[in-house]
Structure 1
């Protein structure tokens, strides 16, 4: 079989390699992430620490793909989903932003500039416990995705 340089492949050939059910790919599951820190970091120490923080039995494989973007490789989808849904995560007092990643797409499309958090406002006066006031408060904190009112 003759090897072909990626640049010599037609767009149709690339789509057939990557875009169908019988695509050639590995059997791993991925997250990509960005650590919001300017501190220097040793990748092996980061891998050991984050594996421990996430409660993993084995050390996770991490690849540094760009200066500040990491790809985390998981053997099981359930473990990846648990890590992704249980955040936010901190490493060395710095926030780690995570995004789901398919292992194929360009890393630039990953949403690594937003962090979705749930905020509970306690002690709010009764007159401020209405949808209009809560929407204003929510927008002041950032982008408001959902408003839920519960007991205060």
Structure 2
């Protein structure tokens, strides 16, 4: 039986995850307690796992077969998650800088002295660096 959460994503109960991965419930419980797997608790205290847990569990088992300890595997997983977060934060920052540049260019297109003063006062150092880099690349 697959449980559908309130946000519309399908979840697996521990037994279903065990069946799909040929890993015991006890092992899944152990990995969850170590922080290698993440479970969502229902109001009746059942644990539900995302479908991505299948891939993660298979990866953990493969790493173990390759001789990695659970501590090494956990460190790898944490580093990978941190890298993904860093990339997401960088993308958000780039979007913010792109917005700043668009606003600045719109102000400069108006070719108004008052707008030039506004731009000078409100431009961030990061946006200024981005504009200078773009100008260097364009020349």
Using the size of structure 1 for normalisation, the TM-score is 0.26
Greater strand fraction, Structure 1 or Structure 2: 1
Q: Which has the larger radius of gyration?
A: 2
Greater helix fraction, Structure 1 or Structure 2: 2
Using the size of structure 2 for normalisation, the TM-score is 0.28
Query: Which is bigger in relative contact order (C-alpha 8 A, separation at least 6)?
Result: 1
